[in-house]
Amino acid sequence: MDRIREQFNRYPSQAKVADIMLRYGISCVNGKAFCGDIEITDSALARSAGVDRRVVRSVLEKMSGEKELDNLFSKLRPILLLDGIASDIGCSVLEIVPTDAKIPGILTEVTFVIYRAGLSVRQAVVSDSGDREDSRLIIVVDGQIPSEIIPALRECRGVSGIIIR
């Protein structure tokens, strides 16, 4: 991801567009932006990134014209995240803030604590837009998270903080 970001470092406006595309899984195929199979206009993407539509056009042309960028951005896909509707579907959200996202096994240890508590995981997603310092582990579980498992979650290797929603 760092090599991809380097392609846009000299152009902050272009970097904003690339970041939005990575965050939302917006792909670039033949110079056009897509969310799944829905085409997104240059203007809509520009409004989201807070840039002029001509910046978006140049970014999409650059992505399609450079092999490494085309290889990455042509394969991006959006994903449904349940955390925003968890309470509506009878679930709870556990957000894990890592001490260092590069530490292996954080997901394993946290889900093992959840398993021992008899909870079912509906979804587990590592939110990582390329900057590991902002990474979060988002886990949606069926039902309520019992308060007694919080100390065990805090003791998991690599866990800096816990947010329950």
Render pLDDT for 111-128 as a digit per residue (tens, 0 to 9).
Answer: 999 999 999 999 999 987
Please tell me the distance from the alpha carbon of residue 87 to that of residue 83, in angstroms, as a whole number.
8
Which CATH architecture group holds 82-164?
Answer: 2-Layer Sandwich (3.30)
Query: In this structure, are strands 32-35 and 159-164 parallel, antiparallel, or unpaired?
Result: unpaired
- pLDDT, one tens digit per residue, over 29-75 is 999 999 999 999 999 999 999 999 999 999 999 999 999 999 999 99
Domain edges within the chain: 2-73, 82-164
Give the number of other CB atoms < 10 A from CB of residue 149: 18
Q: What is the CA radius of gyration of the chain?
A: 19
| Residues in a beta bridge with 40 | 33
Give the number of other CB atoms < 10 A from CB of residue 83: 19
Q: What integer pLDDT is reported at residue 1 of this predicted model?
A: 67
Whole-model pTM? 0.81
Q: 3-state class of 38 per DSSP?
A: strand
Given a contact cutoff of 8 angstroms between Cβ atoms, the answer to whether 96 and 137 are in contact is yes
Given a contact cutoff of 8 angstroms between Cβ atoms, the answer to whether 28 and 70 are in contact is yes
Q: What integer pLDDT is reported at residue 157 of this predicted model?
A: 95
